[in-house]
Amino acid sequence: MRRQAVTLLALVSFAGFAPAAPKLADPSPQEVDKIIRSFSENEAAFARARENYTYRQTAKLQEFDETGAPHGRFELVSDILFTPEGRRTERIVRAPAPSLELIIMSPEDEQDMRNIMPFVLTSKDIDKYNVRYLGRENADEIPCYVFAVKPKAMEAGTRYFTGEIWVDDRDLMIVKTYGRAIGILKKGTDQQFPKFETYRAQIDGKYWFPTFTLANSTLHFKDQQVKVRQSIKYEDYKQFKSDVKITYGGEEKNSTPAPTTPPNK
């Protein structure tokens, strides 16, 4: 009994000195190019698949003055649905009159909420961006490749994303984005746009869907600073119809659901 006790004590003593998991090597430049091509193709398949899902989107914005005192609010709850004829449509569920006093929601803000905050970087758009590999990093507990993304050039009337994206190193799809929306504005326009984080979760064990966007920024206008807290929640995804499958190497990818979760803020 004493010998066994000593052995157990030795095991306990050495348990704290277990070697850390080895750090995975960064991919070569050739492998990075292949990863970029693959995730942009998967994102294109996801974008097509998402068109066949219904969901609810809840957008909220609260403004604060320079002292931190809350002022007006904006809220919009809408369902993305299909008509009996199969046409995609948006139904407003809740839209109280905005009470914003310090800022005005512009068409660019509305465009950003619809298209940039749930950012998707497809094979169709990848050549419009400079994509630079930064390294490996976990998004929550999901091992990812991290890339810096910036538009190569901008056209008037088009909104773009600039920032960083986290790409799951197994499914090769974006699971998190952090950055801001940018674009060419009319001369003399004093517009500012917040930095935001968008998190995705795996739906149906296959696609990574935007589930939560959070912005907590101070906007620096010419004559004042306004703090904004903005959130967009995407929920109740339900498949309407789909004939799109993500494939890699000629075979359909199978994945185990491992959703990212937004921070407690």
pLDDT digits (tens, 9 = 90+) for 62-88: 999 989 999 999 999 999 998 877 788
pLDDT at 7 over 50: no
pLDDT band at 255 (very low <50, low <70, confident <90, very high): very low
Integer Cα distance of 145 and 138 in angstroms:
8
Strands 174-182 and 196-203, by their bridges, are antiparallel
pLDDT at 50 over 80: yes
Integer Cα distance of 59 and 76 in angstroms:
5
pLDDT above 90 coverage of the chain, percent: 72
Neighbours of 145 (CB within 10 A): 22
pLDDT at 24: 83
pLDDT digit string (tens) for 165-223?
999 999 999 999 999 999 999 888 899 999 999 999 998 888 999 999 999 999 999 98
Residue pair 132/32 in contact (Cβ under 8 Å)? The answer is: no
pLDDT band at 23 (very low <50, low <70, confident <90, very high): confident
Contacts of residue 252, defined as CB under 8 A and 6 or more positions apart, other chains included, come to: 245, 246
Q: What is the mean pLDDT of residues 111-132?
A: 96
Point out which residues pair with 205 in neighbouring strands.
none
pLDDT at 15: 46
pLDDT band at 19 (very low <50, low <70, confident <90, very high): low
pLDDT at 90 over 80: yes
Residue pair 71/255 in contact (Cβ under 8 Å)? The answer is: no
What is the pTM (predicted TM-score) of this model? 0.82
SS3 237: strand
